[in-house]
Each structure stands twice: as C-alpha cells, then as structure tokens.
C-alpha cells in the first residue's frame, strides 16, 4: 500500500536513513492519507535521539520546540515538520502530559503509547505501512479504538476522551464499546484538563457530520465539562441542520439556555471576547421574530451589525429576509451612525458642543433615516439637528 508523501518528507526520511537511523511518517498524516484526505501536517518519528537529528540537519533552520519530549521542528520551504524520537512515556501525574519520557529504539514501542489505533500507524516509502495495532482494519470498519488498555490511555491523558468524540464526529466513525465504557468511567478526569484545550476539541467535535450521534451517546461526558448544557433532541437536530460554521454551531448548542449562562460557559472555556460577544448576542435573539420589511431589517442592522445579522439569518433560513438584506447592503442604505451623512464634527460646527447631546442627536437622526421619515442628506440632517 503506497502513500503519496511530500518531497520534504521524503528528503527528511532519506537524510535520517543515510545516517543510519530509522524514520517514518507517523500518526494523523498516515490516517488521513489512507482515508483519501489531504493531510494538514506531516510528522516524522525516528530512532535518532534529538541531538543526532539536529546533527543530521546541520545548517538547516531548526526550532528546538520540545527537546525534553524528543521533538524538534525542521523548517523546509517555509513549512514546519516535527521530528520526534521513538519514546515511551513516564507517569502522567496531571492526566495530560508525561512527567518524563524515555527514548527507545523500537518503533512498535513508540506506537504503543499513542491514543487510538487509527493514529498509531507509520509509513516509510521503502517498507510500507507499520501497523501493529490493526489501525487499517479499524479505519475500514470506521471505529475509534484505544491502543491497548483504554483506561490506561485516558488516565494518562484525559483530553483523549474529548479527542475520541471529536474523531468519531469528524470522521463519521463509531467508538469501540470498551473505549466508550472507559470514557464514561474516567470522565471526571476531564476536570483536570485546561479549559482552552477542552474548547479546541469541542470546536472540532460540533462541526463534524456525526455530531448528533456522538453527543447523544455521550451526553454525560459533555455535561462533565459543561454541566449547564441542555442536549434535547431539538438542539441536536438543529445542530446537524445548521451550517458547518463554528459560531453558528456554538449558538445552536447553547440556544436553549439563556445568553448570560452561555457567556459564563464560553468565558470559562477561555473563548476570545469577539466569539463570546457574537455567540451570546445570537443566543439572545435566536427565537426572535424578524419582520420581512426594509425598515425592520435596518433596525436589526443598527442593533447587531451586518455580520452578526447575516449569521442570525443563516439560523432563520429565510431567503426572503436575505433578499431584503442584500438590497439594503447593495444600495448602501443607511442603517448605522457610520452611514449617516453627518457626524459629530458637523454638529459641533453648527454650535452643538455637549458630548452626550451630540450622541443623542446622531442616534435620533439615524433612527429617522432608518424609518424613512427623512432622507440621508447632509443639508436636511443638519437643519433637523438644529431643532433637536
């Protein structure tokens, strides 16, 4: 079974082998290649210890990213390639990363420490696929299964519980029975994992094709990290029927809880401020009735802005509303202060100097233009402003 690998990866493998070491492409890149997908990253494992790897690529741009854990990053043609020494892991006292690693010379030992069988395959152009744990078989059967003892795998790194759900959702796979049981048995360990790491896996999980089935079967696990959540059948159906847009999927996931609670969850999971603001605002207006006329839509645009309103319409799935919106945007109709033909400086020029009054007048003028009571004309607006 041949896999097409980039020239840079072939170069890395050839250099390491010419210096007497073993080298393989490993992990997700092998899995994705066998699934007919284009790998995003190519990782290499080798029998060379980091100092030997560095010597092999003397003169190249090397970033010593994780020497403690046996990893260096080699930059070739402006692309990063991680090269990691075969290793076995020590104790995972924090249920996330090993306290120490031991370098080994055997590929099978290295692969035996990995999370799932579909991620525990390696490939060398000369020798083909190294598959000691039936990863190819599990790919064909569309199964996510731990390498070795699943309890041990999850106790080493509890984030693997979320990763199992993520892979099953994204790939459309099922989770092996023993693996699933171990996930439930060890779900409390997720409390030890940094919130932002959980969020990264959650983001990928909820945009997967198989998200409904995975969340339905593993509700208790999601509730371990988001106890406030409601995973009703309506939420799950809405989730799979919404676009594969992270913001919209988050909004749909949280739409049955209030926006304040959604904000609390997102803040705890360390989402960025813009995502928190957008999601909570759209949760607030998730069930809002939007009248399909120009004035109503311009009021909505003033309230939440064009980008968020477009996302709200994607939730509503209304072509009629989208047509009116596109007309307003296409014709550069006024719906916000920045579109108004006058600004604060213009009001100061006609003698209105109090800051609060300037803001109030500009808002009133914008509302009058939106309601089509007056035209967005500078002369007209300034004349009206004098009387406000």
Q: What single string gives the DSSP state of each residue in 114-150?
A: SSBGGGS-EEETTTEEE-TT-HHHHHHHTEE-BSS-H
pLDDT of residue 97: 61
Question: Binning pLDDT at 50, 70 and 90, where does residue 41 land?
Answer: very high
Residue pLDDT, tens place only, 185-210:
999 999 999 999 999 999 999 999 99
- Summarize the confidence of residues 235-241 as an average pLDDT: 92
Per-residue pLDDT, averaged over 291-311, amounts to 94
- For the chain, the average pLDDT equals 93
Is the per-residue pLDDT at 65 higher than 90? no
Does 164 have pLDDT greater than 90? Answer: yes
Half-sphere exposure of 50 (CA within 13 A, CB side): 19
Phi, psi of 65 (to 5 degrees): -70, -40
∠ CA(192), CA(193), CA(199), 5° rounding?
Answer: 145
Per-residue confidence (pLDDT) for residue 91, from 0 to 100? 59
Of 292, 334, 337, 333, the C-alpha closest to 313 is 292
pLDDT of 94 above 60: no
pLDDT per residue as tens digits for the range 42-60 = 999 999 999 999 999 999 9
> What pLDDT sits at residue 382?
94
Task: Please report, rounded to a whole number, the percentage of residues in the chain having pLDDT higher than 70.
Answer: 97
Q: Give the chain's domains with CATH numbers.
A: 1-139 (3.30.460.10), 142-286 (1.10.3090.10), 294-330 (no CATH), 337-386 (no CATH)
Three-class SS state of 313:
helix
In this prediction, residue 310 carries a pLDDT of 94
Computed on alpha carbons and rounded to an integer, the radius of gyration of the chain in Å comes to: 28
**CA dist 245 → 270, 300, 333 (Å):** 19, 21, 28
pLDDT at 83 over 90: yes
Q: Is the predicted pLDDT of residue 159 greater than 70, yes or no?
A: yes
User: Under 8 Å CB-to-CB from 59, ≥6 apart: which residues?
Assistant: none
Question: What pLDDT score was predicted for residue 148?
Answer: 95
Per-residue confidence (pLDDT) for residue 100, from 0 to 100: 62
Q: Is the dihedral of CA 222, 228, 229, 232 positive or negative?
A: positive
Mode of pairing for the β-strands spanning 79-85 and 43-46 = parallel
Counting Cα atoms < 13 Å in the Cβ hemisphere of 217 gives 18
- Confidence check: pLDDT of 380 > 70: yes
- Mean pLDDT, residues 277-295: 95
Q: What is the pLDDT of residue 63?
A: 93
Listed in sequence order, the residues at least 6 apart from 170 whose beta carbon sits closer than 8 Å to its beta carbon are 204, 205, 207, 208, 209, 210
Tell me the backbone φ, ψ of residue 32, rounded to 5 degrees: -65, -40
Could you tell me the pLDDT band of residue 365, with boundaries at 50, 70 and 90? Answer: very high
| pLDDT surpassing 70 at residue 71 | yes
């Amino acid at each position: 079974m041949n896999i097409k690998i980039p020239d840079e990866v072939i170069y890395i493998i050839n250099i390491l082998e010419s210096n007497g070491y073993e080298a393989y492409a490993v992990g997700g890149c092998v899995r994705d290649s066998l699934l007919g997908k284009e790998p995003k990253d190519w990782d290499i494992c080798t029998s060379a210890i980091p100092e030997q790897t560095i010597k092999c690529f003397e003169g190249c741009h090397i970033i010593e990213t994780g020497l403690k854990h046996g990893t260096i990053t080699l930059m070739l043609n402006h692309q990063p390639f991680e090269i990691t020494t075969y290793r076995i892991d020590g104790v995972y006292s924090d249920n996330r990363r090993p306290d120490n690693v031991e370098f080994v010379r055997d590929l099978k030992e290295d692969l035996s420490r990995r999370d799932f069988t579909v991620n525990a395959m390696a490939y060398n152009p000369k020798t083909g696929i190294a598959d000691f744990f039936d990863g190819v078989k599990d790919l064909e059967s569309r199964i996510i299964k731990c390498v070795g003892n699943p309890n041990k795998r999850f106790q080493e790194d509890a984030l693997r519980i979320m990763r199992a759900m993520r892979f099953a959702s994204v790939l459309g796979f099922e989770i092996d029975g023993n693996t699933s049981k171990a996930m439930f048995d060890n779900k409390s360990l997720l409390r030890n994992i940094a919130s932002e790491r959980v969020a990264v896996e959650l983001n990928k999980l909820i945009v997967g094709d198989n998200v409904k089935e995975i969340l339905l079967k593993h509700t208790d696990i999601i509730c371990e990290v988001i106890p406030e959540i409601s995973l009703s059948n309506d939420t799950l159906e809405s989730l799979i029927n919404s676009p594969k847009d992270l913001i919209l999927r988050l909004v749909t996931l949280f739409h049955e809880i209030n926006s304040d609670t959604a904000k609390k969850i997102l803040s705890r999971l360390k989402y960025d401020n813009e995502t928190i603001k957008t999601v909570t605002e759209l949760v607030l207006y998730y069930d809002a009735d939007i009248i399909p006329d120009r004035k109503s839509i311009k009021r909505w645009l003033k309230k939440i802005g064009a980008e968020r309103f477009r996302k709200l319409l994607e939730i509503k799935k209304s072509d009629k509303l989208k047509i009116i919106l596109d007309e307003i945007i296409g014709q550069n109709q006024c719906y916000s202060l920045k579109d108004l033909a006058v600004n604060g400086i213009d009001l100061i020029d006609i003698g209105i100097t109090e800051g609060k009054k300037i803001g109030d007048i500009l808002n009133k003028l914008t509302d009058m233009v939106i309601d089509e009571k007056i035209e967005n004309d500078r002369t007209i607006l300034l004349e009206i402003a004098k009387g406000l």
